[in-house]
């Protein structure tokens, strides 16, 4: 009982910590944005299912979240670091153990005091703690904080992987839909050229069309066949790429949308630039790594100071097993120890230097993550706004080329213009239609990239319900 106040006093002294106070660094951004589109939804508060209005796309994204191996690896890493944090946290508490032992020994007659061989026995049953370190200078707490921040960083990395996976699946899906639309256009173009060749051949047989016009019509049909073969190949590759991202075979009853116009993607607001620091997972992961490096400095500093450990137990001790718990067999042990480093050849100083350099590296990586994030958002905004204007101009151009082809085709059929004029109008129209599909694809993927760059849709709830998480 006399040692109890001393033990409690030592435990209360454990409030000291040598870990540096953490302050979020001020980082000057090199790229940013000024406006906030209040009419659009905030990206970080928009679940990915609310972003995409295409049921086929949401279904394949959900399939990817269930089967993608990269995401599964990220989830397993989170579980691993969570367990490591629990291990480190357990060092703050004493480990109680129940021990039982028994020895029975024969002593030869030449070693026995009585001159005759004897047999001695000893049995014990104790409960207590062994080598519990009193965290007077915060070494154990610093290591616990380091493990906690590393675990939180891994959780943010998992969210970043999930966000990247959603965006990658969406972009791969959009590529496939665009190439399928291009394939449909190529099939229509081939049919037009086949019908035109039949018309020219009939006119040639009647002596109205020349052999040159016949050769031009045949060449136009072969060009259409080449384009058709190209997009058949691309659509097969797109399906393979999407299947690889999903990590599982696509369902037999699943089909993507026929056109990009059916894959409506909602607009999201970039919000205020300062919100990106608390929204984007890779920035949060870099900040947690910085916190972990900051905590490791506290552990390195505490290594210069004494380390005090306690070993204590209480129980029963007896020479006879049947008297082990009899009256008067009680025993106890209290064995504190202290270790004070005197000379380590500069090892402790070097460990502190390593911890400080690691903190500086983590700070540099945090600053770089912010710069990359702001640049990603600025680029995504520029791409989205630019593709909006480009698509509008391209659609107007396609309408003009459609009128051009209609007039040229009618004039050719009436014998006013040559086959060359019609072929030129046909090529321009097809090229404009292809460019319109490409512009529509670029705009859709720019919206997806903006959503990813803003750190949106990384809530833990994948069912579509609203969820709020504390960073």
Token pair recorded at residue 207 = 């002596």
For residue 467, the model assigns a pLDDT of: 33
* Right CATH for 20-92+138-305+347-453 from 3.40.50.300, 1.20.1600.10, 3.40.50.2300, 1.10.150.240: 1.20.1600.10
Total-model pTM: 0.82
**181, 267, 173: which is closest to 456 by C-alpha?**
267
DSSP 134-196: E-TTSHHHHHHHHHHHHHHHHHHHHHHHHHHHHHHHHHHHHHHHHHHHHHHHHHHHHHHHHHH
Spans of all domains in the chain: 20-92+138-305+347-453, 94-134+307-340
How far apart (Å, rounded) are the C-alpha atoms in residues 443 and 388?
Answer: 7
How far apart (Å, rounded) are the C-alpha atoms in residues 422 and 429?
Answer: 11
Q: What are the phi and psi torsion angles at 338 (to 5°)?
A: -135, 140
Bridging pattern class, strands 268-269 and 41-42? parallel
Sign of the alpha-carbon torsion through 247, 248, 251, 252: positive
The class (CATH top level) of 94-134+307-340 is mainly beta
For helices 55-67 and 69-90, angle between their N-to-C axes, nearest 10 degrees: 50
For residue 44, the model assigns a pLDDT of: 56
- Note down pLDDT in tens along the chain; length 471 residues: 454 454 545 454 455 778 888 888 888 777 766 655 554 555 556 678 888 888 999 999 999 999 999 999 999 999 999 999 998 898 888 888 888 888 888 778 776 667 677 787 888 888 888 888 888 888 889 999 999 999 999 999 999 999 999 999 999 999 999 999 999 999 999 998 898 889 889 888 888 888 888 898 899 899 999 999 999 999 999 999 999 999 999 999 998 998 998 888 888 877 777 777 888 899 999 999 999 999 999 999 988 988 888 888 888 888 777 777 777 788 888 888 888 888 888 988 999 999 999 999 999 999 999 999 999 989 999 999 999 999 999 999 999 999 999 999 888 888 788 778 888 888 899 999 999 999 999 999 999 999 999 887 544 444 333 333 333
How far apart (Å, rounded) are the C-alpha atoms in residues 194 and 187?
Answer: 10
**451, 448, 398, 395: which is closest to 263 by C-alpha?**
448
Contact call for residues 432 and 398 (beta carbons, < 8 A): yes
């Amino acid at each position: 009982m006399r040692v109890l106040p001393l033990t409690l006093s030592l435990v209360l002294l454990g409030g000291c910590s040598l870990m540096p106070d953490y302050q979020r660094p001020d980082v000057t951004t090199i790229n940013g944005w000024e406006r906030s589109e209040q009419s659009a939804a905030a990206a970080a508060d928009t679940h990915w299912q609310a972003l995409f209005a295409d049921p086929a796309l949401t279904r394949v994204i959900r399939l990817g979240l269930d089967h993608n191996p990269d995401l599964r690896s990220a989830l397993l890493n989170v579980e691993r670091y969570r367990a490591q944090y629990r291990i480190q946290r357990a060092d703050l508490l004493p480990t109680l153990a129940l021990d039982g032992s028994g020895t029975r020994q024969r002593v030869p007659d030449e070693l026995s005091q009585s001159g005759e061989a004897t047999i001695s026995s000893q049995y014990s049953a104790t409960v207590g703690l062994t080598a519990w370190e009193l965290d007077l200078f915060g070494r154990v707490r610093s290591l616990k904080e380091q493990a906690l921040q590393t675990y939180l960083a891994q959780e943010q990395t998992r969210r970043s992987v999930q966000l990247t996976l959603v965006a990658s699946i969406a972009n791969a899906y959009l590529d496939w839909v665009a190439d399928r639309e291009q394939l449909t256009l190529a099939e229509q173009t081939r049919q037009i050229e086949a019908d035109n060749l039949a018309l020219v051949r009939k006119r040639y047989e009647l002596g109205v069309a020349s052999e040159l016009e016949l050769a031009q019509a045949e060449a136009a049909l072969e060009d259409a066949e080449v384009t058709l073969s190209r997009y058949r190949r691309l659509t097969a590759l797109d399906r393979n790429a999407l299947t690889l991202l999903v990590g599982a075979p696509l369902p037999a009853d699943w089909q993507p949308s026929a056109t990009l116009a059916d894959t409506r993607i909602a607009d999201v607001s970039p919000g205020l630039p300062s919100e990106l620091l608390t929204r984007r997972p890779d920035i949060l992961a870099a900040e947690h790594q910085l916190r972990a490096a900051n905590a490791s400095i506290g552990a390195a500093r505490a290594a210069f100071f004494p380390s005090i450990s306690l070993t204590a137990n209480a129980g029963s001790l007896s020479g006879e097993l049947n008297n082990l718990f009899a009256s008067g067999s009680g025993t106890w042990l209290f064995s504190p120890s202290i270790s004070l480093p005197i000379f380590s050849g500069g090892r402790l100083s070097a460990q502190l230097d390593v911890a400080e350099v690691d903190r500086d590296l983590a700070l540099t990586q945090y600053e770089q993550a912010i710069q990359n994030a702001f640049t990603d958002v600025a680029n995504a905004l520029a791409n989205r706004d630019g593709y909006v204007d480009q698509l509008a101009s391209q659609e107007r151009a396609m309408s003009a080329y459609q009128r051009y082809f209609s007039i040229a085709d009618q004039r050719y059929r009436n014998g006013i213009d040559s086959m060359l004029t019609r072929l030129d109008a046909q090529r321009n129209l097809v090229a404009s239609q292809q460019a319109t599909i490409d512009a529509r694809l670029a705009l859709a993927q720019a919206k997806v990239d903006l959503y990813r760059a803003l750190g949106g849709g990384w809530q833990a709830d994948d069912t579509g319900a609203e969820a709020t998480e504390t960073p």
